[in-house]
Amino acid sequence: MATTLEHLSVELLYEIFIYFQFHEVFNIFSNLNSRFAGIINNIPFMPVYLGLNGMSIAVTEFYYRYLSQLNICNHLISLCVSDTLAIDNGLWLAEHISTFINLRHLSLIDIKRSSFELILNSLSPINSLIIFSVHFPTNDRAAYTFIGVPEGAYYEQIFHLFSSLRVCHLHFCRYIHYTLDTKFVLPLNRTFIPIRTNLLNLQSLVLRQCSSSFLSYLFEHLPQLEKLSFERSDPWLPHEHPLEQGDNK
């Protein structure tokens, strides 16, 4: 097998590799010979999916070890991390994300709130990141851990950390119950947390739910947007909150 593949160019091998997940490519090709080992360790674009599709503990631990290597973490440009399984991948990411200095695409799926806040709080700005997504495929998982969070609560942190974003998908949903998280203080006469950082490169913004007042604010704050997708919602406030009725009007 190695003898036959030796005749293929590196570019053609990359085209073959995209049909596999990275751990499969590593297990199949890295031990063939020194040439393939070097190719695998310098793949410039291979995305890593951590915690998806019933990934086993053994495979997860492989990624933990592999991505922690100094000569590897600098090459990582695309990473998708999920807390859908029992393994707390979000906590691992919070401890290591600062080493992925060339990351361009980061997607978080069903991420726990505690891990998500650790990620935001442990980071210095990453100027290389151009695509960022926070997604909750089902309502009965991590989305409920964001109960009581006011609209726009994490946007300023995200925009400040990833100032070069071009595409941003934030699928937080309105799930207030009856109280707002006391960690977040709403400004007077605002039903949402305002944004201070201007993302001049942002072209596409997708929100799961958005109130009319926050939507108007986004139009003023991000006039360069080429695409804005959202589902209109009521204000992210308890029913008895004095600002809710004014926002609906």
Burial class (CB in 10 A: 0-12, 13-18, 19+), 27: middle
For the stretch 79-132, pLDDT in tens is 999 887 666 889 999 999 999 988 999 999 988 899 999 999 988 888 999 999
For the stretch 34-79, pLDDT in tens is 777 777 777 766 688 888 777 788 888 888 888 888 877 888 889 9
Q: How far apart are the first and last CA of the chain?
A: 69
Read off the tokens for 178.
């009856």
Residue type, 206: V
Can you list the domains of the chain with their CATH numbers? 47-231 (3.80.10)
pTM (2 d.p.): 0.84
C-alpha–C-alpha distance, residues 81 and 47, integer Å:
11
